[in-house]
Structure 1
């Protein structure tokens, strides 16, 4: 599966709801009100549509990046565990 970072300009509950509606809850990780990680076999364009960033029902400004499994930093243990789940 691919892992994508969804970054919004400002918080929007419709994005959170759209991602949770489109993807299983175990495949969406909320970092904060404007940043989410999504695991899916789909493309970045599909994720951006689900988030409301792109498409006919666009309602929020933001960007979707595909991650390449190269991570570094300091974050909660749950984030690192979530990222490792796809590697198993």
Structure 2
């Protein structure tokens, strides 16, 4: 795990759970979420004038948690908690 992602996971108090690499049905949605987060953080952090990426992490996670899933037509937050944020 990269240092950036480790710092991000620690800040979000996230626990890593390993799954098999070749089981998309087990980790596809999570992998897409992580990819989206990493792309967003990387683009922001690579700009030399915006090194405060950790300050936008909460807003980024809020945006991801409240984005509607294409298959289930619900937000990830709703699927976990049973109510919208």
Which has a greater percent of strand? 1
> Which of these two proteins has the greater Rg computed from alpha carbons?
2
**Which is bigger in relative contact order (C-alpha 8 A, separation at least 6)?**
1
**What is the TM-score when the length of structure 2 is the normalising length?**
0.32
**What is the TM-score when the length of structure 1 is the normalising length?**
0.31
Which has a greater percent of helix? 2
